[in-house]
Amino acid sequence: MTTTTAGNTFTNLANPTRFLNLSGAVLPWMAGVTALLFAVGLFMAFNAPEDYQQGVTVRIMYIHVPAAWLSMMCYTVMAISAIGTLVWRHPLADVSAKAAAPIGAAFTFLALVTGSLWGKPMWGAWWAWGDARLTSVFVLFLMYLGLIALIRAIPDPSRAARLTAIVILVGFVNIPIIKFSVEWWNTLHQPASVIRLDGPSIHPSILYPLLVMALAFTLLFFTLHFSAMRAEIWRRRVASMRRRAAQAAA
């Protein structure tokens, strides 16, 4: 690495100022497209046919399924960020992991609440401990909260970053184990019906609104994530400026 300017996009993005400029330019557009997609997606969702068995409650799916997907994607983003912190010492990776944790917890909570609301009329209970999917998502939620507690417990950001990254990666390894271990129990939750080898098993009239909503949720996640990352970078700059001012005053 001879010059700092001639790098690929990855190293260019490592410069927080460049990230701030770029994300500042992109964010309004992303927010706009997110709002548009939500408008279209919700319109399609409310015009989609009702299920002959589940009636109107099937519309909960348009929130529940994207939120559940996002809860897992957010953890994946955190795990990639954790690798970035540990392997490349990428300065934005730890900002990304820290910013993603509360968002992931929020999506997981949303998936749990909508699942619970859907479960009451369908299964007859708000909560079913026998259900594998519900239980493993709940464990994921606990892990998000534990990670947030860990990030907040360590005052020094760089130390917090590396310790959190280690725990995130151990948790990421554990997620498949949790998923398969709970599948030993009898399960109420329906199996995957969108992503399958032989194509989606649900009707296009329900599938398309669901996909639009999923796209809207994904964009919402990245909008929130970028805003949170920007806020975190500014927060760190303010903290270091205060420290410098305090040192100058002393």
Partner 1 sequence: MGALFVRDLKLSLRAGGGALLGILFFLAVIAVIPFGVGPDLNLLARIGPAFVWIGALLASLLGLDRLFQIDREDGSLDIMLMQSSPLVLTVLVKCLAHWTATGLPLVIASPFLGLFMNISGVAMAAVFATLLVGSPAITLIGAVGAAVAVALPRGGLLLAVLVLPLSIPVLIFGVSAVNGAIAEPAPFLQPFLMLVAITLFFAVLGPLAAAAALRASSD
Smaller CB separation from partner 1, 56 or 153: 153
CA dihedral sign, ordered 92, 94, 97, 98: negative
Nearer Cβ to partner 1 (56/177): 177
The nearer residue to partner 1, 33 or 169, going by C-beta atoms, is 169
Task: Give the integer Cα–Cα distance in Å for 81 and 217.
Answer: 20
CA dihedral 70, 74, 75, 77 (to 10 degrees): 140
Residue with tokens 């009636």: 55
Please say which residue, 158 or 205, places its beta carbon nearer to partner 1: 158
Least distance CB 178 / partner 1 (angstroms): 6
- Min dist CB 134 to partner 1, Å, is 13
Instruction: Decide whether 93 or 212 has the Cβ nearer to partner 1.
Output: 93
Residues that bind partner 1 (CB under 8 A): 86, 139, 142-143, 145-146, 149-150, 153-154, 159, 162-163, 166-167, 169-171, 173-174, 177-178, 181-182, 184-185
What sign does the CA torsion over 139, 78, 200, 210 have?
positive
- For partner 1, the closer of residues 100 and 161 by Cβ is 161
Residue whose pair of structure tokens reads 């990855």 in the numeric block: 10
